């Protein structure tokens, strides 16, 4: 998709919202050179590209690895949880505070809400949320500075390792994949 393509934002009675970019804007500049959080922003872009096809989901479960059940809603939840969890970890590490491992249910659990159809407004919400979270990583890492990226934080990972790990969120999106109306994702 071109950078200038937009998906109209859903209109509300309150006010007309501006169109939203399909892909996150390109990031350039000296503060971003070598910033490991760029990997997170790129992964968000990959997730959004796949999620743009998820309104075509036919409601049937997508089974991967013979054991994991996936739906677009579950992938959205896991992507968001992962972005939030590790951003909180980064903030705690930079503050010198203990990290909170969280009590997420993870991919082994499919919640009732995961079965809901993913609508265009749901997609717009995810786009806004994921893009902002990706940018939060980018800005936080830039603020922390290059010296902080590889500083050992035993027993935790370095900030660079966390960013590399978080960039793996695309795996969740790939479990649902690129959907087309009239096709079932089925078993993979």
Contacts of residue 122, defined as CB under 8 A and 6 or more positions apart, other chains included, come to 76, 116
Top-confidence residue, 162 or 11 = 162
Alpha-carbon span 149 to 128, nearest angstrom: 26
pLDDT mean over 144-153: 97
Q: Are 50 and 178 in contact (CB under 8 A)?
A: yes
Say if residue 2's pLDDT is above 80. Answer: no
pLDDT mean over 179-183: 74
Q: How many residues does the chain have?
A: 188
Alpha-carbon span 49 to 149, nearest angstrom: 28
Say if residue 15's pLDDT is above 80. Answer: no
CATH superfamily of 37-176: dinb family like domain (1.20.120.450)
Q: What is the pTM of this model?
A: 0.80
Provide φ and ψ at 156, rounded to 5°.
Answer: -85, 170
pLDDT mean over 83-98: 97
């Amino acid at each position: 998709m071109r950078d200038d393509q937009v998906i109209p934002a859903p209109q509300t009675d309150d006010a007309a919202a501006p169109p939203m970019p399909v892909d996150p804007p390109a990031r350039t500049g000296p503060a971003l050179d070598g910033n490991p959080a760029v990997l997170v922003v790129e992964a968000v872009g990959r997730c959004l590209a796949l999620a743009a096809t998820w309104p075509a989901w036919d409601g049937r479960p997508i089974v991967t690895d013979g054991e994991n059940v996936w739906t677009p809603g579950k992938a959205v939840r896991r992507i968001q949880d992962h972005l939030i969890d590790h951003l909180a970890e980064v903030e705690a590490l930079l503050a010198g505070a203990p990290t909170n491992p969280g009590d997420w249910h993870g991919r082994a659990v499919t919640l009732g809400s995961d079965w809901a159809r993913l609508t265009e407004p749901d997609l717009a919400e995810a786009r806004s949320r994921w893009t902002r979270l990706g940018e939060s990583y980018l800005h936080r890492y830039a603020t922390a500075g290059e010296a902080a990226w590889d500083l050992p934080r035993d027993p935790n990972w370095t900030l660079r390792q966390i960013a590399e790990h978080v960039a793996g969120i695309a795996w969740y999106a790939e479990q649902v994949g690129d959907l087309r109306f009239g096709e079932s994702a089925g078993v993979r």
